Structure 1
Amino acid sequence: MLLLFPVFNLYGSSLLILSSQGLIFSFLLFKRYYQQRNTSDLLLGLILIITCYHQTAYTIGFMDWYDTYRTTKINYYLVDLSLALAPLLFFYIKSIIQPDFKLKDINLWHFAPVLIYMLIKLFVWIYDAQQDGFHEVQNGPMVMQFEWKFLNPFLFLFRTIQMLLYLAFSFQIFFAFREKIKHYFANTYRLELRWLQNFLFAYSFLYLFYSIQIVVNEMIIDLSWKQKWWFYLLSGITIIYVGIKGFFTEISELKSVDFGTFKLPKNEPSRTVKKESVDQFSEKKALINNYFEDHKPYLDSELTLISLASRLDMSREELSDIINQGFESRFNDFINSYRIKETKRLILEDKHKTLSLLGLAFEAGFNSKATFNRAFKKSENQSPSEYLESMT
């Protein structure tokens, strides 16, 4: 018999290449976890492994596995591990924004659904293997009459609800952390929050695309293998993006952030600061103003709420309250407003003739182009280059 497998074509080869690269990055992440014991590396490696694993059926299908081996039992070997993917996404985000996060026994209950599903798959396999003629067919009666008709539809519904919940929790803790960062640090983009956001968006898009594809296939029109291939191509591209960005993005500084007992200030205009009098509050507000005029702490690109509080001999909670209530601003915007004023002052002194706009931004205390452009446009309603053109 002439074996047709493997057949290399656009559909199978592209998935094979993308998944292979994902496996390489998984290995690199596991290796780094072994060396440095960063839980986030272990979790991201597992996420990549599962995403690559889910490419298997379609990859070998396009390479003519099923046509070559018509009695293959691969449908029994391949187990849908997406029930483990949702909690892994959530734990990955937590492992970065919570420095003391460790996987504990109590976390294992999150993976109970996938363990139950694997036991059911094992039962299906054992039952079918005992049936007459099992070795002459690809799928036994339990697969066709139970798994495909009942288990898979229930699995899709359960997986959809599960992924929605875990993604919602993940976005919730991420946005809360990002908001807290803005009250703590002046320069936020250097902390690579954008990577975490894009990571969540990537898997949210995959989840949405896949769900729509299933609904269309089940309720509107039967999609062909080639039509379903687009999801797996997008999944493969996501694997490459997550592998590269996840491995090379430096998040150690972000993971080391310690807020201590600091809490976000509440938006309550009538709330006083630690029951101090209005006069005392005004005095400390004036103290901050004078300190900024005399010492220009905003020129320090590494300035944080805690370092500024130390210089002013205040607690960080007290300083945060004064900035939020007295100046009606978050720490991030408050510091950047001074840096923007400094940038504009440098332009008025014609410093832009010897330095680029980015150079002026660095002189004013910014430490990234993205933060500078975003803060400037938010404050002045125009980009730095547009402002410069209007001044010349």
Structure 2
Amino acid sequence: MNHFAIICTSGFAIALIYVAHPFFLRIISGSSGMPSKTADAPIMDVADADNFERIKNALENDRIFTDPFLTVDLLSAYVHLHPKKVSQLINHYAGMNFNQLINKYRIAESKKLLSDAKYGNLTMQGIAKEAGFNSRSVFNHAFKLETGLTPSGFKKECTG
């Protein structure tokens, strides 16, 4: 067999493998072969909406966000759902993760306390504790991330 025939036969074999092999087909189609996040996303139903309402109720009415040791496991036990389900519901309905949601509630509470004159005697550490933060540095960081101001700066703006 001459060199030209060997090269042609080899080229044809490589092309056939390239086109026929599933790995190469995924490359050609632009797919990574990994399931997309949308395909993996849980399908939410009416029960899920009700369960998320239970989570919101625990946060808004029962104010469990003020517990500085609140975790997704504790919240899950409180609303009688599996921790993974609670995380999925928060991600889906709130569009954020557990820590972001809890910090959002804590910052809202902090802003309320900082702008109310009857809490003027509380230190920043006291405000942080009342809102559920167990660390002043975490409080300052989360507050600035959410509002663009430090807690002290926010208080100055409120009291003028």
TM-score, normalisation: structure 2: 0.71
Structure 2 partner of 1:341:
108
Structure 2 partner of 1:325:
92
Taking the aligned partners of 2:69 and 2:119, their CA distance within structure 1 comes to 24
User: Unmatched 5+ residue regions in structure 2?
Assistant: 1-35
Asked whether the equivalents of residues 340 and 364 of structure 1 are also in contact (C-alpha less than 8 Å), the reply is yes
Deviations 1:323-357 (A, max 9, x none): 11211111111111111111111123224421112
Correspondence for 1:386 among 125, 130, 153:
153
Structure 1 partner of 2:143:
376
5 Å-filtered alignment, 1:137-286, equals 268-269=37-38, 271-273=40-42, 275-277=43-45, 279-286=46-53
Asked whether the equivalents of residues 309 and 316 of structure 1 are also in contact (C-alpha less than 8 Å), the reply is yes
- Name the Cα RMSD after superposition: 1.8
Asked whether the equivalents of residues 65 and 106 of structure 2 are also in contact (C-alpha less than 8 Å), the reply is yes
**How big is the shift at 1:276?**
4.4
Q: 1:383 to 1:270 in 2, by over 3 A?
A: farther
Taking the aligned partners of 1:339 and 1:268, their CA distance within structure 2 comes to 30
Q: 1:328 to 1:354 in 2, by over 3 A?
A: same
Correspondence for 1:297 among 64, 77, 84:
64
**How big is the shift at 1:271?**
4.3
Taking the aligned partners of 2:155 and 2:147, their CA distance within structure 1 comes to 12
Structure 2 partner of 1:360:
127
Taking the aligned partners of 1:351 and 1:343, their CA distance within structure 2 comes to 13
Taking the aligned partners of 2:155 and 2:149, their CA distance within structure 1 comes to 10
> Number of aligned pairs?
124
Structure 2 partner of 1:103:
none
Identity %: 31
Taking the aligned partners of 2:79 and 2:112, their CA distance within structure 1 comes to 25
Structure 2 partner of 1:192:
none
Taking the aligned partners of 1:344 and 1:315, their CA distance within structure 2 comes to 32
User: Unmatched 5+ residue regions in structure 1?
Assistant: 1-266
Asked whether the equivalents of residues 309 and 315 of structure 1 are also in contact (C-alpha less than 8 Å), the reply is yes
Asked whether the equivalents of residues 288 and 312 of structure 1 are also in contact (C-alpha less than 8 Å), the reply is yes
Deviations 1:69-106 (A, max 9, x none): xxxxxxxxxxxxxxxxxxxxxxxxxxxxxxxxxxxxxx
SS at structure 2 position matched to 1:295: coil
TM-score, normalisation: structure 1: 0.30
Structure 1 partner of 2:32:
none
Counterpart code for 1:366: F
Asked whether the equivalents of residues 346 and 352 of structure 1 are also in contact (C-alpha less than 8 Å), the reply is yes
